[in-house]
Amino acid sequence: MKYLVVYDSKTGNTEKIAKEILSAIPEAQKEIKKVSEFTGNEDADVIFVGFWTNRSTCPMSVVNALELMTEKKIALFGTCGMGGSEEYYDSIKKNVEAWLPEECEYLGCYLCQGKMPESVLHKYEQMEGKVPKEQLEAMIQNYHAAKTHPDSKDLLDAGKFVKDIVMKY
């Protein structure tokens, strides 16, 4: 079985997970690529596709790469700023899954929280008085909670996700 990890990462969170995923694949035949280097001609049976969350879905770079992945086994992984809500994670997963090519075999999605740049906190601070106080406080709290992610447990869970898939194929 040949494995490929393809990912997009703006600030490094998804890249961290991508590297962990690569190292968790026990097979010798494995490769990692940024999505910008992906051509669609790569020789791989299983592709792990990584995304950062952009407006509740994956970036267009990942959508475009998925379109080139015909008749492959595809596993998704990603990071997002929001944490603590399985419901929210499920909605992101659903949004990204919608971009999977029909002829692919879908193996599942691993998602975890990823820290956000300080500009996000500044944006929140400027929202004072414009959104309900409680809502804003929750957003700021989430910003601080995200700061340590992806953490060692996130990496461990990513490794488990890979092991479960590799065991089956």
Ligand X SMILES: Cc1cc2nc3c(=O)[nH]c(=O)nc-3n(C[C@H](O)[C@H](O)[C@H](O)COP(=O)(O)O)c2cc1C
Instruction: Name the H helices within 11-151.
Output: 13-24, 60-67, 86-97, 118-125, 133-146
- Residue facing ligand X at closest CB distance: 114
Output the CA torsion sign for 89, 94, 96, 100: positive
Least separation in angstroms between residue 125's CB and ligand X is 17
Least separation in angstroms between residue 28's CB and ligand X is 27
Identify which of residues 41 and 152 has a Cβ nearer to ligand X in the complex: 152
Identify which of residues 59 and 159 has a Cβ nearer to ligand X in the complex: 59
Other C-beta atoms lying within 10 Å of the C-beta of residue 58? 27
Least separation in angstroms between residue 146's CB and ligand X is 7
Identify which of residues 15 and 20 has a Cβ nearer to ligand X in the complex: 15
Phi, psi of 90 (to 5 degrees): -60, -35
Binding site residues, ligand X, CB under 6 A: 9-15, 52-56, 79-82, 114, 116
**Residues 8 and 33: beta-carbon distance below 8 Å:** no
Least separation in angstroms between residue 157's CB and ligand X is 15
Identify which of residues 16 and 73 has a Cβ nearer to ligand X in the complex: 16
Please give the Cα distance from 162 to 22 (Å, whole number): 9
